[in-house]
């Protein structure tokens, strides 16, 4: 079991993102199905294309620092994913990477703090807040649980993000395309929160492989 004092290198972050890419590939149809109810029905295919581009880019460049891995991944998502998902996910990873700096080893605590910077940047970019039925409803619980530490912070973050995504079902969307539906957005799980929860599941899995 890994706590927040343990260090992570570029290889660990690479495993995190490749695990996330595999999860997006596996869940793409579900993400698109969720998006078809309250969005453009392209969330799964967009993220699938974006994370495939991330894996390809990381295989070619192999950055030597966790921050550099995340910055490169974020840049790929911005350039290859259409709609709002590319800028939002790209901002999350790029701002997290910039907050980590150039260190070749970072602690879990540093990663948690950097992720909070990234999540705050997503909130600012999208003009959204927790409770608006967006990806933030999984991202904020996930990063808060990770930051809290404890005996299994990554597992706690995975659980909190999953629960946050599930909690979007009864919410009325207040941001994004889903907000146009008004009360008809109630009863549907938010696709962005669902895909965001996959990031924390992938992180927990990558760290467990350390």
CA distance 189 to 8: 33
CB atoms < 10 A from the CB of 83, how many?
15
State pLDDT tens for residues 4-45. Answer: 999 999 999 999 999 999 999 999 999 999 989 888 889 999
Half-sphere exposure (CA, 13 Å, Cβ side) for 35? Answer: 25
- HSE, CB side, 13 Å, CA atoms: give it for residue 170: 2
Name the average pLDDT for the chain. 93
92 contacts 119 by C-beta, under 8 angstroms:
yes
Question: Is 90 exceeded by the pLDDT of residue 83?
Answer: no
Nearest to 173, CA basis, from 141, 109, 128, 111: 128
pTM higher than 0.85: yes
- With bands split at pLDDT 50, 70 and 90, how would you rate the model's confidence at 110? very high
Cα–Cα distance list, 131 to 150, 164, 165, 171, 198 (Å): 26, 10, 11, 7, 19
Assigned CATH topology for domain 7-208: 1.25.40
The 10 Å Cβ neighbour count of residue 147 is 18
Q: Name the percent of the chain lying above pLDDT 70.
A: 99
Boundaries of every domain in the chain: 7-208
Rounded to 10°, the helix 66-80/85-100 angle is 160
Kindly state the average pLDDT of the residues 191-202. Answer: 97
Neighbours of 148 (CB within 10 A): 13
What CA–CA distances, in Å, run from 191 to 76, 181, 195? Answer: 21, 15, 6
Q: Which helix (H) or strand (E) holds 7?
A: strand 7-8
Mean pLDDT in residue range 153-182: 90
């Amino acid at each position: 079991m890994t706590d927040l004092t343990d260090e992570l290198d570029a290889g660990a972050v690479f495993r995190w993102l490749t695990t996330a890419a595999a999860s997006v590939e596996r869940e793409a149809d579900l993400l698109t199905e969720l998006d078809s109810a309250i969005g453009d029905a392209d969330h799964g295919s967009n993220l699938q294309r974006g994370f495939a581009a991330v894996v390809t880019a990381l295989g070619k460049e192999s950055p030597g620092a966790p921050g550099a891995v995340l910055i490169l991944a974020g840049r790929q998502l911005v350039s290859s994913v259409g709609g709002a998902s590319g800028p939002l996910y790209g901002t999350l990873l790029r701002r997290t990477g910039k907050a980590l700096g150039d260190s070749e080893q970072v602690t879990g605590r540093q990663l948690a703090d950097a992720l909070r910077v990234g999540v705050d940047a997503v909130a600012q970019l999208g003009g959204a807040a927790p409770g608006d039925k967006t990806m933030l409803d999984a991202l904020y619980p996930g990063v808060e649980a990770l930051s809290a530490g404890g005996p299994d912070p990554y597992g706690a973050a995975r659980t909190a993000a999953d629960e946050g995504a599930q909690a979007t079902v009864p919410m009325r969307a207040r941001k994004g395309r889903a907000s146009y539906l008004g009360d008809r957005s109630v009863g549907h799980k938010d696709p962005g929160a669902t895909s965001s929860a996959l990031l924390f599941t992938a992180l927990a899995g990558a760290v467990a492989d350390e």
